[in-house]
A and B are shown apart, each in its own frame.
Chain A
Amino acid sequence: DAKTTQPNSMESNEEEPVHLPCNHSTISGTDYIHWYRQLPSQGPEYVIHGLTSNVNNRMASLAIAEDRKSSTLILHRATLRDAAVYYCILTRVDFNKFYFGSGTKLNVKP
């Protein structure tokens, strides 16, 4: 299984940008990088995904290092609703098989 490494927890102030890092040094050329988040007492929720180029959507941006060994999820203006556990996931061979690690618990302070 392709491994990812994320900090256990991070803290941010409301309305400030948040950069959530993920290391995936064993990534292969066909591995996609997915980010999901899980709010308290809910199922995981899709945030963004990408392969090589940086990606933007209405929720966040994904910055992928040139060597693809790391990536960063960027929340441009954190809100209290963004407090969640954020998972960085690689999919290898089988695009449907997700291996969720322990994720990063984001705390947003008002």
Chain B
Amino acid sequence: DAGVIQSPRHEVTEMGQEVTLRCKPISGHDYLFWYRQTMMRGLELLIYFNNNVPIDDSGMPEDRFSAKMPNASFSTLKIQPSEPRDSAVYFCASSSGVPQHFGDGTRLSIL
């Protein structure tokens, strides 16, 4: 079992650039979650999908953030334009109930 796959693992970009984070959930899972982890705020749920449909996006910080799930095997989290305060580790997780399975994260640095 491949697990949840995230890409890239590391991303360094300049302020103002568009950033796209990618996630491939575990096959057969119908829930997909995006989290952000920072030292100040810990792990926060940003948005989650059920059967490719966004269910709760109340954790998305600003309109600069958007997430899509065009099919059951792929999701993106986009930040446009990026700002230094967006620097964090972003995790994707998937589930078909309990438990949630997390990827290894994307470490994002905005200079």
Contacts and interface: CB of A to CB of B under 8 A. Distances in A.
Interface residues of A, number: 20
Interface stretch (A10-18, A23-31, A39-47, A72-80): A39-47
Interface string B77-111: 00000000000000101010011111111000000
Nearest to A49: B98
Contacts of A46: 98-101
Contacts of A44: 43, 91, 93, 100, 102
Contacts of A19: none
Contacts of A36: 99-100
B103 A96 contact: no
A34 B98 contact: yes
Interface of A: 34, 36, 41-46, 49, 87, 94-103
Interface of chain B, main secondary structure: strand
Given A49-B99, A97-B56, A102-B42, A42 B104 contact: yes
18 contacts: A36-B100, A42-B102, A43-B4, A43-B93, A44-B91, A46-B98, A46-B100, A49-B98, A49-B99, A87-B43, A94-B56, A96-B33, A96-B48, A96-B56, A96-B100, A98-B43, A98-B100, A103-B42
Interface of chain A, main secondary structure: loop
A46 B4 CA distance: 14
Contact of B42 (A41, A42, A101): A101
A36 B33 CA distance: 15
B15 interface: no
The 8 lowest CB-CB distance pairs between A and B, nearest first, are: A43-B102, A46-B99, A100-B43, A43-B91, A44-B102, A43-B103, A43-B105, A43-B104
B4 to A, nearest CB: 8
Contacts of A98: 43, 45, 100
A84 B100 CA distance: 18
